[in-house]
Structure 1
């Protein structure tokens, strides 16, 4: 008996709820599926399924075995797809959703370099700061920033994202440099409309309190506009360094209250968990994983100019 075939038959029966449906899925006869499961139970020395004339129920042992068997089969299929992919070039259209500011600043060269390596892949890059429904809207991959809620999607961490409170030297010379959070009450806050309500840290709590008090005087759903306004001396801003790195590295903006800098959030590549991940998707994820460096090049540029 082939253990993998028997394992696959058992998993199919549990997923489909019957031997006949599992047989259709596997393109086998119900008798052969039943034989596979019986031989598997005999080999393991325990009953995995309780069979009646009307239904099939999973035993406690069967439930435990199912979880591990499904993971093993997914790993085998995943490895098979990778090895098969090594023998072929990725091709087709790769649909990607990405945040607006990040894509504008950091994805043009990425996609160009990727297509130089894989010229048969067409990229459809859609920019949107809302969280798209990957499956419903037909995306292969979505890039997301922030803490992710648990879901059936697979999320691969790509890069840390620092978030820095900063203002222009001219603004600070005119209004003073705050040394405590309370002193920010005397300053003009340039508010990002989509501030992460789940992010933790004193600075987030303080700014959320200001938001609820309606004390901000300028709002925007775009970080580039807020950073440009801060450079022009409009007030202080809390923004990721992938947006503000140029201004920070050239001294157009300077960090304030660095002791309250929140823990970095992260950039993730999110995709649907598929039994056989398309080769074009796997190649893009692998290409993206090390592309921005560690630390990301925008943070390395800030550090280089500060030393």
Structure 2
């Protein structure tokens, strides 16, 4: 789903090349002064001098642009060669933010992306998007939860998983403990937030028809609103999905979850409840592509 965007940080192998577009910075541009001279067009000395400076500036900008584009393309070519040579799970795991060139999905199964590529990149994209769906606020509403489970899980395990999840998400004690009403909705004046944000994926195993993919993500969870007893907080997890290629798409057969890795929090003041609630309403999510 770093989003680097892969979903979609830096390259942990040997470091990324310098940004080719840094050549556009003002510190790399120079200004040249030309002595005023007598023009041969009858307009006097000042006009040709202005024209010369203008032409020189235009040419200089064009040269800088061409150089920047050439430098960026050189860097991109190196990244592409790494990608093309990295079809194995080890290479993909070593460069979690490198672009693969695999087209993102265009299909939807309800609200869940579908139609992932039948390769390692597709398995990683599926795992990232499935972690988003399974961590969404829709899981707390019965109808949406069933749609998500049927879209994400393999048919052979979907029914059993549905029953297990219904028991968890419909439990009155559980819903009350996180501040929700017994029907899974937020109390009046509150906005319920549950959102997973993948920051990277890693292939653990891949055999063509099955795959094991880990997704590292941050999660926002809580109630935004004045007087909330469960304010929105951030936590970090890694989910490892067991996937199988079924009926032309990747489906989850099982998954495990562990805490972390957890970064050190920065010294930033928490936003007011209304600002947090507005952010969730105004900022949509992503479809993650490896």
Fold-level match, TM-score > 0.5? no
What interval of TM-score do these two structures reach, taking the shorter chain for normalisation?
Answer: under 0.3
Structure-2-length-normalised TM-score: 0.20
- Please state which structure has a larger fraction of its residues in helix: 1
Structure-1-length-normalised TM-score: 0.20
